[in-house]
Amino acid sequence: MSNTEQRKRHPSWKYHMFFHDDFVLGFFFFLGLLLYFLKNFYFPGRPPFALDCPRTLARISFSKTQTIGHVSFIRPHQVPTMNIGILGHVDSGKTTLAKALSEMGSTAAFDKHAKVADLRANTIDLGFSALTINDSKIALIDCPGHASLIKAVLAASSVFDAALVVINAARGIEPQTAEHLLIASILCPKHVAVVLNKVDLVTPEKVKSMVTKIPKLLESLGIDKKSPIVPVSLATPDETAIGAVAEAVEQIFYLPERDTEGDFVMSVDHCFPIKGKGTVMTGTVVKGRCKVGMEVEIPILNEKRKIKGIQSWKETISEASMGQRAALLFQNLSEACTSIDRTVLYEPGAMESTHLLLGTIHHISQFKWTLKNRAKIHLSVGFETVMAECQFLKEDGEEFELQDAFEPATTSRVLLELEKAVHTRPGAFFMAAKLDSTEKSCRFAFHGHIERVLKSRTDEPRIFHRKQRAGVLDRIENDRSIICSQLFKKETNFDVFNGMEVLLATGEVGRIEGSFGKGGKARIAIPGGLTGNLEAGKTEILLKMKKYLNEGDKGKLVAYL
């Protein structure tokens, strides 16, 4: 009798069958696969580090996770987000407002790392804090109010979805109030709230007057005149005052459209090392999404690194998407990272380094100065501000005419040559300004979006400058040929102009056939014959040309009628 038959006759044969070698191996193999799946996909688990930032206002603990039973897991990234800039002139109460509204502070919040002797306790950096509305996380970006720190405001504005503009009731509309309102009018004109602060320092009549006048100012800038206006005194804020501001925030609240499927790009505003852990870069995701383990480029260091951990508002998450504020942990970065201020990082290939940009252009009517061709201006794109030389272009089919100066009615593009390379992408917003101006007037000249990132001059669109020459009829040879004088000089190389068409004042179209004599006169054929009343010495003959300025075509002349 076989061993199998003997086991089947035994009363506990099923028990023995359970422990049969093949069955046991299969069972534990399946169990191992199940546990592996649960650990790596369903419950991603606690990251193998705990990050504790020593900076008071940038405390990030990557050890935080939530638990179900005894299994820890990282929260997903899908949390609706919105970024609101807090704007206004220096000492208007922006930071006090941010502190009163916020549930938590993050990087450089509430100025504790921004105090220096000459600026006392005024904000000199971007401060970030948060509150929650309708289950959505609202990032409050406290911007500095000094004119000299406008670059920081322009950097922050690249992620604005809405704006809270704080006005000092005792001083009214001050220079930076006006500039900040202008920024809001360009970026988020339908999502602006005004906080009229320090109303305890003025009479009720003045408060009433300002509340009446502010909507007219907003409307003149293109901001919704129905934007909420909240008169408060934040020196001693009470629940009623803060509740009124919170209600205004709810009125301008919306869920912006987010491109979470594109390549990952993040604007970084702060960077600091954590002893024994690595380096943390905090910022806002401006495109796509990132995940733990993803490799990103850090162009300012010329390095690529994998993301070791992600947090958003002190909660560990597995990924972060567009619009979301995030802190990314990296390891083994070079020592140069400690000196990084504002920069960008991105998925490899998502951005390009360039000195040359082609962009759309929109005039800012409050800018009163004339910008001539080749004018130099401060260009803010993303978190960078660099000097740029401008060439103003008028669209002409698939080509562009170079203009002598910026003409708001006709200029449609601007070619920007940067003194320092920036990392950017098509579609990115930019602002151009004369930040070195000492005049008490608007410094913002124009804004637009990058249409093309150009690698070199050979990538430029075809650009030309219009030229025109005028001559007069010298004599008529016959009804199909004339001699023209004053159109060229005697040393002119006619090979350049032969075959070009000219237009007679009487309407006939002619074609240059060559020189006549040695005095610079030209013979012009009239294929259609002379039809008008031509008069020697008086009938004008025009030669209109496009002179191309691009590499490869540089200096090429093409006639047109």
Task: Report the CATH number at residue 102.
Answer: 3.40.50.300
In a domain, 46, yes or no: no
pLDDT in tens, 143-194: 998 888 899 899 889 899 999 999 999 999 999 999 999 999 999 999 999 9
- What is the total count of domains within the chain? 4
Asked if residues 135 and 80 have their Cβ atoms less than 8 Å apart, the reply is yes
Q: Rounded to an integer, what distance in angstroms lies between the CA atom of residue 227 and that of residue 553?
A: 52
Of the candidates 252, 285, 308, which is a domain's last residue? 252
Is 433 in the same domain as 491? no
In a domain, 68, yes or no: no
Is 87 in the same domain as 214? yes
Is 145 in the same domain as 100? yes
Is 194 in the same domain as 220? yes
Of the candidates 279, 314, 346, which is a domain's last residue? 346
In a domain, 331, yes or no: yes
Is 312 in the same domain as 449? no
pLDDT in tens, 428-483: 999 999 998 877 889 999 999 999 999 988 888 999 999 999 999 999 999 999 99
pLDDT tens, residue order, the chain (561 aa): 444 454 444 444 443 444 445 555 566 666 666 665 554 444 443 333 333 333 222 333 333 333 333 333 334 445 688 999 999 999 999 999 999 999 887 766 665 444 333 333 444 578 899 999 888 899 999 999 888 889 989 988 989 999 999 999 999 999 999 999 999 999 999 999 999 999 999 999 999 999 999 999 999 999 999 999 999 998 887 888 899 999 999 999 999 988 888 899 999 988 888 888 899 999 999 999 999 999 999 998 889 999 999 999 889 999 999 999 999 999 988 776 767 778 899 999 999 899 999 999 999 999 999 999 999 999 999 888 999 999 999 999 999 999 999 999 999 999 999 999 999 999 999 999 999 887 788 999 999 999 999 998 888 899 999 999 999 999 999 999 999 999 999 999 999 999 999 999 999 999 999 999 888 999 999 999 998 889 999 999 999 999 999 877 888 999 998
- What stretch of H or E contains 151? helix 150-157
Is 420 in the same domain as 489? no
The per-residue pLDDT for 392 is: 97
Asked if residues 192 and 160 have their Cβ atoms less than 8 Å apart, the reply is no
Burial (CB count within 10 angstroms: exposed 0-12, middle 13-18, buried 19+), residue 319: buried
For residue 309, what are the β-bridge partners?
Answer: 329
Asked if residues 448 and 361 have their Cβ atoms less than 8 Å apart, the reply is yes
- What stretch of H or E contains 485? strand 481-485
First vs last C-alpha separation in the chain = 110
Closest by CA to 331, choosing from 296, 358, 370, is: 296
Torsion angle of C-alpha atoms 101, 106, 109, 115, degrees rounded to 10: 160
Edge-to-edge strand ranges of the sheet holding 229-231? 104-105, 127-133, 136-142, 81-88, 162-168, 192-197, 229-231
DSSP, collapsed to helix, strand or coil, labels residue 274 as: strand
Of the candidates 304, 327, 346, which is a domain's last residue? 346
pLDDT in tens, 334-374: 776 767 778 899 999 999 899 999 999 999 999 999 999 99
Per the structure, the complete domain to which residue 306 belongs is given by: 265-346
Cα torsion angle, 150, 151, 154, 156, sign: negative
In a domain, 21, yes or no: no
Is 429 in the same domain as 481? no
Is 384 in the same domain as 336? no
pTM reported for the whole predicted model: 0.78
Is 99 in the same domain as 217? yes
Q: What is the 3-state secondary structure (H, E, C) of 499-544?
A: CCEEEECCCCEEEEEEEECCCCEEEEECCCCCCCCCCCCCCEEEEE
Is 470 in the same domain as 426? no
